[in-house]
Structure 1
Amino acid sequence: MGLMVKILSQSIPAELIAFGRFFFGLFAVSILVVARLVKLKFVNRPLLIFRGIVGGFAILCYFKSVSLIPLADAAVISFSYPIFGTIFAAIFLKEELKPQALLVLMIALFGMVLVADPKFRTINIGYVFALISSLCAGAAVTSVRQLRKTDDPWSISIAQMVGGIIIVSLLSFKSLSIPNPNILLLLVFASLISTIGQLLLTYAYEFCSVTVGGTISLAVVPTTVVLAIVFLGETITASFLVGSSMIFGSAIYLLNSQTEAGSKG
């Protein structure tokens, strides 16, 4: 999806891409609901609303970051959300976490600084969007972990789509317009693929912890980096490699930490 967003952002605003992602995803799921192929169950409505808001912000900010900075940078920072998800899960879901996790979080944050490679006079706002995306996504997957105890994946996903549509409409109404047919077709395709991925990830959180599910989802990052190099001609710097290693190392540590804690319990 990241590569498609980067390509689309050269022709249309990131806000419009995000709106299309939510709208066409909701349209596809609505067809299944009308055809009675899917049954919805909205139980924990306050948490569903929260999931819709933070999930919508996460995707909107990710798309904004992709449109403003190199795709590889945006992917590494935005998909570091398992770091924050693990912290949120320990606070709100009482998932066990070692005290060293705070140090690991600091290491991960420093890794993000290296990836951004700021000059400290100015910093591209795209990196700020990527960090906000990561924080919101961490909160979103934590809420999904809790919601899967009461609500089905379809209802949880619809909550994000509706929340995303509302957020984008309120914040970026002037950016919304109908693109040309070719761009529209690519936007629909990208939206459907992304929706399928979201549903699979939501379903998976019923069977694994936030740390396990989030860390497994990190597999998308190296794939995105390779695509950015091959199709966009992006270059990888030494600071990017070091920073990325720090971020991934932190995520792996948190995964092992929680796994060990779970086996002892």
Structure 2
Amino acid sequence: MDQDGERTPLTAAQNPTQHPPPHRRRARRRGSQSNYSATREVAGALLVACSAACFSMMALLVRVGVVFKENRFASFQLVLSRSLFQFFAATIVLLWIKKDPLGPPDMRIWLVIRALAGGFGVVCLFYSLSLLSLGECTVLIFTMPIFTLIFSRIFLGEKVEVVDGFFGVLCLCGIALVAKPHLLFAHEVTHEMQQRLLGTGAAILAALAQASIYIVIKKMGVSVHYMMNVMYLGILGIVLAPIGGFVFGERRWHMPSAAAEWLVFLGVGFFGLLAQVFISRGLQLCRAGLGAAVTNLQIVFSFIFGIVFLDEIPSGSSMIGATIIVTSTLGVVWNKTTPSRVSFEERRGST
């Protein structure tokens, strides 16, 4: 290697482990980041879909508990059941993994805000389910994606594309066809209008609360363990349930006695817990707009549960609406997570 006291450089044959040029290394990193980002989006969307299924089962049990049982539960009693499940389960998990249940000091205010919004939304949802049918309540709750897209644009600066708007409008059309609520289609004022107005107002407030939850979770990011969100929500629910029961006159609470009553009482808490775990983690992985769109699957799950558990045979318009919802939701997921689109946007941003 040394000739006349001078050192000669290694040739390509002598150095078999050559590194690629810098521009190739940058392109390779961009490709791996794009695939990782797309994988996170898909994983988050799947978790949100699982949350929608659990929320639908919980809503079904609430509806059964407050309407169809001889010894009806007060809606706020079921709020308490769900909150107790969430608080104890989340606290046990956080202590097991050696996480401070109160969360990072700089994030505690966001955890409180998220819990306030979530607790208020749960109270409004359960109260609305005691006044409106499952379909009517669900379709009103799912005005939430519209509020979420607006909030994500204002507070997070997320881009809202024309395609997102198209699929969002298409999804709302499907929701209307599935639920066929009297509040949207009826031309007559019935004797139940006062209850309907109260139930409608509660459902819209729940939709606004849920939309704000998406924004708060995205603000916090992944630095806050998702079980902390669940625990804080449980605490607020435990506090708000007795207050709500007193304010709205639901003061006749009773302990479950029959097996079916225990199934409803405990099932509300169990499925509510699973739904919160899935939604809290899922929204950390995907964008707020995508998460809001995927939650529309809750309409489809409610539609299926109505057939299986309540013997509610859907009409042709409901079948068409369910198809539209699934199609539009899949369209949004494809638009947000296609690797070729992500790569193109990154290449365009790097030029």
What range is the shorter-chain TM-score in? Answer: 0.7 to 0.9
Whether 2:94 is the aligned partner of 1:18: answer no
Aligned to 2:278: 200
Aligned to 1:219: 297
SS state at 1:44 partner: helix
1:40-72: CA deviation from partner (whole Å, max 9, x where unpaired): 324422221221111112222222222222212
Work out whether residues 62 and 129 of structure 1, in 8 Å CA contact, stay in contact via their aligned partners in 2: yes
Task: Note closer, same or farther for the CA distance 1:100–1:197 as it changes in structure 2 (3 Å cut).
Answer: closer
Aligned to 2:200: 127
Aligned to 2:88: 27
Shift, 1:180, TM fit:
2.1
Indicate which of 215, 225, 240 corresponds to 1:167. Answer: 240
Task: Note closer, same or farther for the CA distance 1:247–1:53 as it changes in structure 2 (3 Å cut).
Answer: farther
Aligned to 1:97: 160
Task: Note closer, same or farther for the CA distance 1:44–1:33 as it changes in structure 2 (3 Å cut).
Answer: closer
Provide the rounded CA distance (Å) in 2 between the counterparts of 1:175 and 1:141.
Answer: 30
Q: Which runs of 5+ in 2 are unaligned?
A: 1-57, 347-351
Provide the rounded CA distance (Å) in 1 between the counterparts of 2:228 and 2:243.
Answer: 23
How high is the sequence identity, in percent, across the aligned residues?
Answer: 21
Whichever residue aligns with residue 210 of structure 1, its letter is A
Provide the rounded CA distance (Å) in 1 between the counterparts of 2:148 and 2:233.
Answer: 17
Provide the rounded CA distance (Å) in 1 between the counterparts of 2:167 and 2:135.
Answer: 22
Shift, 1:13, TM fit:
1.5
Root mean square deviation of aligned Cα? 3.3
Whether 2:123 is the aligned partner of 1:60: answer yes
Aligned to 2:287: 209
Q: Which moved more, 1:201-210 or 1:229-238?
A: 229-238
Work out whether residues 171 and 325 of structure 2, in 8 Å CA contact, stay in contact via their aligned partners in 1: yes
Task: Note closer, same or farther for the CA distance 1:15–1:74 as it changes in structure 2 (3 Å cut).
Answer: same
Work out whether residues 86 and 230 of structure 2, in 8 Å CA contact, stay in contact via their aligned partners in 1: no
Provide the rounded CA distance (Å) in 2 between the counterparts of 1:63 and 1:229.
Answer: 22
SS state at 1:68 partner: coil
Whichever residue aligns with residue 156 of structure 1, its letter is N
Aligned to 2:229: 156
Aligned to 1:264: 345
Aligned to 1:143: 216
Task: Note closer, same or farther for the CA distance 1:8–1:185 as it changes in structure 2 (3 Å cut).
Answer: same
Work out whether residues 107 and 246 of structure 1, in 8 Å CA contact, stay in contact via their aligned partners in 2: yes
Whether 2:63 is the aligned partner of 1:6: answer yes
Q: Which runs of 5+ in 1 are unaligned?
A: none
Indicate which of 84, 97, 112 corresponds to 1:49. Answer: 112
1:8-53: CA deviation from partner (whole Å, max 9, x where unpaired): 113112111112111222122233345x345232442222122111
Work out whether residues 98 and 257 of structure 1, in 8 Å CA contact, stay in contact via their aligned partners in 2: no
TM-score (norm: length of structure 2):
0.63
Whether 2:69 is the aligned partner of 1:69: answer no
Provide the rounded CA distance (Å) in 2 between the counterparts of 1:253 and 1:100.
Answer: 9
Task: Note closer, same or farther for the CA distance 1:105–1:168 as it changes in structure 2 (3 Å cut).
Answer: farther
Whichever residue aligns with residue 279 of structure 2, its letter is L
Whichever residue aligns with residue 7 of structure 1, its letter is V
Whichever residue aligns with residue 31 of structure 1, its letter is I
Shift, 1:4, TM fit:
1.0
Provide the rounded CA distance (Å) in 1 between the counterparts of 2:301 and 2:314.
Answer: 14
Shift, 1:202, TM fit:
0.7
Q: Which moved more, 1:98-107 or 1:82-91?
A: 98-107
Task: Note closer, same or farther for the CA distance 1:66–1:252 as it changes in structure 2 (3 Å cut).
Answer: farther
Q: Which entry has the higher C-alpha Rg, 1 or 2?
A: 2
